[in-house]
A = this chain, B = another copy of it.
Amino acid sequence: MSGPVPRAFVSRFHSKSKDSSEALATAAKLPEAEPVPPVTPRQRITVQDILDRRTKAGRLVAPTAAACDADMFKAPSVGKPKAKIWDHNHLSAEAIVREPCKLKAAARFLKTPGIISLGGGLPCPEYFPFSSISMKVPTPSDFHESAPTETVTINKYDASLGNTDAEYDLSIGLNYAQAHGSAQMMRFVTEHTELVHSPPYADWKTCLTVGSTGALEQTLRMLCDRDRNDAILTEEFSFSTALETAGPLGMKVVGIKMDEQGLLPESMDEILSSWNPAERGGSRKPHVLYTVPSGQNPTGATQSEQRRREVYAVAQKHDVFIVEDEPYYFLQMQDSGKPAPRNVDEFLDRLVPSLLSMDVDGRVLRMDSFSKCVVPGSRLGWITASAQVVERYIRHAEVANQGPSGFSQVILHKLLDETWGHEGYLKWLMNLSMEYTQRRDTLLAACEKFLPKEVASWSSPKAGMFFWVNLNHELHPHASTKGILDVEEEIFNSCIKRGALVARGSWFRAEQDKPPTGLFFRATFAAATPENMTEAIRRFGEAIKESYGL
């Protein structure tokens, strides 16, 4: 916590200090429902385990549009419970009635030896105008942009002709595929998920997505119904695009109070325990929580391990399904002065465990993405959830998009699987987290230097890309006549005039129809150069000072 008014900042998160103490009073009653899973050291499989498993399994033979399943790539789940069934009380009307895509399902007949298919309208790769795609990529020994690169090439028939060790090629990757994505990329993300999260129930599955934006829309349509007056829970400040996704679907969004560690379990419990549809415009008691546990957008808050366990316990108590959106999970940073992790095991050990890793019930749908860790333009990510939920998700993906781009899949597979491998990718992520740590520290230093601490306060984020700056509206000289939104607009416009773009806190308010509870701005340290970031914060500081007459 930096700046001189930390308590004010925290209480702003709670809307009003009265509410905040009420929330804390509720908290004491929390762990009644079901026992919180014990905090034990995670037992992970290792990269070597995966390499051994692959050697044993032999070459992956997965031709055009091959169906696959995460179970093909997981360790056997010995002694783990099965996920709960998310029956009609959770799934939406459209999710329940979906049937498999007949043409995709017909692919099962292609396994018949010697069969000639005149079935699906799959173009002949002869007509694909790409005989090879090459790319220059860094090697895991040095990830600096100006370091030497190696050139790797994907040919059209590398795998299909069977005369190389290759398991994937353009003739497969650029044709139609199953909606869950290629077996080749499914193997990579499944192994990666087991390596990092090792979900504690047996029948977890994965499915590639067109990125987490699309995955969220599909998930909300799968879990919520306009006709059922469904409402969803989220942080009181939440990712604006998520809010823009839910609104038009007729879902009421309910904000949970937050502190520096993100959403408050006691606030969540209080909302659910006291839910009265009549007071909530007829909305049904929420059965879905959408949360960004690490480097939350927009507040930058990161839930500690204990916080996550408490959130999970409240979800169990009220039978809430959790959508865990984790684009910034690997952008968890080192505390100032703490040395970098020495190897990927230490890197993984320092990560706050995910909700997925605590999910004994199979009540979490986790969304991962390559947008922040590789490139946003891949429009490629994946979900992990129970077999039932993933099956329904795939049925929707068959008609919503047919899965992600083949270019994205074949290129990311070449880089992550064939060139870097799991260890190399984890090294890349570790390097990235160190780069973001530096960027955060640059922005932090600029805030310390240029923002007026008399009115501004902020936390140093432990993950992600975002700084959340709180201005004390009560100290504004015209607070009595200019409301929070007016001052916000004045400072925003003044910033633009001075040549700095920051995001307005009000864009992220989960409940737009309620009066604003605080004056916030979001600044990212992801995009600009260190010099520009510093200069932009200087301009932002000038805009604040002018408005406050400092």
- Which A residues are closer than 8 A to B by beta carbons? 93-95, 97-99, 101-103, 106, 109-110, 112-124, 126-138, 143, 145, 149, 173-177, 210-211, 213-214, 216-217, 226-227, 240-241, 244-245, 247-250, 297, 371-372, 374-380, 398-411, 415, 428, 432, 435, 443, 465-466, 496, 499-503, 507, 523-528, 532-533, 535-537, 539-540
Known A-B contacts A94-B248, A116-B535; A405 and B378 likewise in contact (beta carbons under 8 Å): yes
Find chain B residues with CB under 8 A from A174 CB.
Answer: 375-378
Find chain B residues with CB under 8 A from A114 CB.
Answer: 499
Show 14 residue pairs from A and B whose CB-CB distance is below 8 angstroms, ordered by the A residue: A116-B500, A116-B536, A117-B527, A118-B537, A121-B372, A121-B526, A130-B411, A131-B145, A132-B136, A133-B133, A174-B376, A248-B399, A379-B402, A407-B407
Q: Which residue of B lies closest to A143 (CB)?
A: B129
Q: In the complex, A297 Cα to B132 Cα: how many Å? A: 31
Contact of A137 among B93, B130, B176 (CB under 8 A): B130
CB distance A123 to B376 under 8 Å?
yes
Q: Which residue of B lies closest to A375 (CB)?
A: B174
Q: In the complex, A428 Cα to B532 Cα: how many Å? A: 46
Q: Which residue of B lies closest to A297 (CB)?
A: B121
Top 7 nearest A-B pairs by Cβ distance? A377-B406, A405-B405, A174-B377, A119-B501, A407-B407, A116-B536, A174-B375
Contact of A377 among B119, B177, B398 (CB under 8 A): B177
Known A-B contacts A126-B145, A244-B101; A404 and B379 likewise in contact (beta carbons under 8 Å): yes
CB distance B406 to A128 under 8 Å?
no
Find chain B residues with CB under 8 A from A119 CB.
Answer: 501-503, 524
Find chain B residues with CB under 8 A from A527 CB.
Answer: 117-118, 120-124
A507 to chain B, nearest CB (A): 5
CB distance A122 to B526 under 8 Å?
yes
Q: Give 11 new A-B contacts, CB below 8 A, not counting A130-B415, A375-B406.
A: A102-B244, A112-B501, A115-B499, A115-B500, A118-B501, A120-B524, A121-B372, A129-B415, A134-B135, A378-B407, A401-B401
CB distance B435 to A127 under 8 Å?
yes
Q: In the complex, A378 Cα to B145 Cα: how many Å? A: 28
CB distance A101 to B503 under 8 Å?
no
Q: Which residue of B lies closest to A406 (CB)?
A: B377
CB distance A380 to B402 under 8 Å?
no
CB distance A374 to B129 under 8 Å?
yes
Q: In the complex, A103 Cα to B119 Cα: how many Å? A: 44
Contact of A248 among B97, B130, B405, B415 (CB under 8 A): B97
Q: In the complex, A138 Cα to B156 Cα: how many Å? A: 13
Q: In the complex, A380 Cα to B406 Cα: how many Å? A: 10
A176 to chain B, nearest CB (A): 4
CB distance A523 to B406 under 8 Å?
no
Contact of A116 among B101, B102, B407, B532 (CB under 8 A): B532
Contact of A405 among B132, B213, B408 (CB under 8 A): B408
Q: Which of A129, A241, A399 has the most CB of B within 10 A?
A: A129
Find chain B residues with CB under 8 A from A539 CB.
Answer: 116
A476 to chain B, nearest CB (A): 22
A108 to chain B, nearest CB (A): 10
Find chain B residues with CB under 8 A from A524 CB.
Answer: 118-122
Known A-B contacts A130-B375, A214-B400, A406-B379; A244 and B120 likewise in contact (beta carbons under 8 Å): no
CB distance B210 to A210 under 8 Å?
yes
A499 to chain B, nearest CB (A): 5
Find chain B residues with CB under 8 A from A126 CB.
Answer: 145
Contact of A466 among B93, B121, B403, B407 (CB under 8 A): B121
Find chain B residues with CB under 8 A from A408 CB.
Answer: 405, 407-408
Q: Which residue of B lies closest to A528 (CB)?
A: B116
Find chain B residues with CB under 8 A from A535 CB.
Answer: 116
Q: In the complex, A502 Cα to B466 Cα: how many Å? A: 54
A122 to chain B, nearest CB (A): 5
Q: In the complex, A390 Cα to B375 Cα: how many Å? A: 27
Find chain B residues with CB under 8 A from A500 CB.
Answer: 115-116, 118
Known A-B contacts A130-B135, A135-B134, A379-B404; A217 and B399 likewise in contact (beta carbons under 8 Å): yes
A344 to chain B, nearest CB (A): 17
A106 to chain B, nearest CB (A): 7
CB distance A129 to B121 under 8 Å?
no
CB distance A103 to B213 under 8 Å?
no
CB distance B241 to A101 under 8 Å?
yes
A265 to chain B, nearest CB (A): 26
Contact of A132 among B117, B120, B135, B248 (CB under 8 A): B135
Contact of A402 among B109, B214, B405 (CB under 8 A): B214
Q: Which residue of B lies closest to A135 (CB)?
A: B133
Find chain B residues with CB under 8 A from A130 CB.
Answer: 135-137, 375, 411, 415
Contact of A103 among B123, B249, B376, B503 (CB under 8 A): B503
Find chain B residues with CB under 8 A from A129 CB.
Answer: 137-138, 143, 374-375, 415, 428
Q: In the complex, A406 Cα to B248 Cα: how many Å? A: 27
Contact of A432 among B127, B134, B371 (CB under 8 A): B127
Q: In the complex, A121 Cα to B292 Cα: how many Å? A: 15
